[in-house]
Structure 1
Amino acid sequence: MPSDALTPLRMRHTSPMFAPHLWDVHDATMNNNARTNNSCEGWNNKLFNLVGHYHPSIWHVIEWFQLEEATVSTIIKQDAVGNPFQRRVRRRYVQLQERLRNFCVVRREDHKTVTHFLRGVGWNVTHQH
């Protein structure tokens, strides 16, 4: 047998590590809900932006926690007097959400092929900045 012969590739089906209902964002997109499933990511980004580096001293962390506690306390007090907190959402993310929802609606009504749908969604997600 020649050494350059290809060995046959054997494939077997295995169950996914995470079930699709855990990461599927179609329903969230259709209901105009958040499409992220990692609620800690935003908090971690906020921490990094406020502290300014990955390994802050304990004093910087304590100061940041005090500022964060004051912010949350203000939000709770405003809610108690009838002024509920409303997240500010950047216009570009609102527009992205609308475009993605439109793609889902058009695909559901069979006006676009799966290829066109995936290409459009991919383009919007990668070019959102």
Structure 2
Amino acid sequence: MVIEQVAMRVPPDIWNCYERTVQGLPRTTNTCEAWHRRLGTLVGKHHPSLFVFLDQLQEEIGEVDVQITRAEGGYTPVKRRSALEAAEARINRIVERYAEYKEHGDVPTYIEAIGHNLGGRFH
């Protein structure tokens, strides 16, 4: 009942990650949040002056340029932990089978399987 109330207030295109998963896109904003934290650490202040912020932003641009050059040169970045990769693969396999779950009227099992593979927080 609570889920139905939330679903009525928040449209699925806001919270549903199905299309992003099918397209191989990230389901979270973790990379953006990590970059924001990194930039905050580089700046070292909660409210830097404009000049301090711009100086650190220029340094970050230089670092990104180095990363781009390395990627173009064939350098492979540090891989994610294998446990995360395995969970990602399981979620992708489940999402690929969504049509089967729906056809058999077994969407609750689909949702449970997804929840189980999101770190076990949702079952």
TM-score category, normalised to shorter length: 0.5 to 0.7
- TM-score if structure 2 supplies the norm length? 0.57
The amino acid of 2:86's aligned partner reads Q
Report the structure, 1 or 2, having the larger helix content: 2
The amino acid of 1:70's aligned partner reads G
| Distance across 2 between alignment mates of 1:56 and 1:105 | 45
Identity over aligned pairs, percent: 21
| Distance across 2 between alignment mates of 1:33 and 1:40 | 13
By relative contact order (CA 8 Å, sep 6+), the higher-ranking structure is 1
Which of the pair has more CA radius of gyration?
1
| Distance across 1 between alignment mates of 2:44 and 2:113 | 36
| Distance across 1 between alignment mates of 2:23 and 2:108 | 23
Unmatched 5+ stretches in structure 2? 1-7
> Are residue 107 (structure 1) and residue 98 (structure 2) matched?
yes
Secondary structure, counterpart of 2:97 in structure 1: helix
Quote the RMSD (CA, aligned, Å): 4.0
Q: Deviations over 1:5-59 (max 9, x none)?
A: xxxxxxxxxx755x533543212212322223687433213224x3496626548
Matched-pair contact (CA < 8 Å) for 1:103–1:121? yes
Q: Which runs of 4+ in 1 moved over 6 A?
A: none
| Distance across 2 between alignment mates of 1:123 and 1:54 | 39
